Amino acid sequence: SQKIEQNSEALNIQEGKTATLTCNYTNYSPAYLQWYRQDPGRGPVFLLLIRENEKEKRKERLKVTFDTTLKQSLFHITASQPADSATYLCARSAGNMLTFGGGTRLMVKP
């Protein structure tokens, strides 16, 4: 089966620092990976998509990388703010559907 794993432990960082979240997948590389943000009691919200042939994608303070050798995607938030505190979900394409990781909770302290 096509698994996708994220660090289940919460990540605590200081405001202004760069947060880096990791997403690892097994077996073959997916055609693309997506990243979502989920706040408590809310539905996930799409942030970024990165394709297999792209090494890096940026959007404002967000950056995603895709390393097919390591079978890993990294999600960076630069100049983090307390408002960035949320759970971040990684999802891989698997046929015609998405398979989600368990998410990593990010806490940015002022």
CA distance 12 to 51: 29
Binding residues for another protein (CB under 8 A): 31-32, 34, 36, 41-46, 49, 51, 87, 89, 93, 96-100, 102-103
Burial class (CB in 10 A: 0-12, 13-18, 19+), 1: exposed
Q: Which residue, 15 or 54, is less far from another protein as judged by CB?
A: 54
**Amino acid occupying residue 14:** Q
CA distance 7 to 10: 8
Query: Cβ of residue 18: shortest distance to another protein, in angstroms?
Result: 24
Query: Cβ of residue 31: shortest distance to another protein, in angstroms?
Result: 7
Q: Which residue, 80 or 104, is less far from another protein as judged by CB?
A: 104
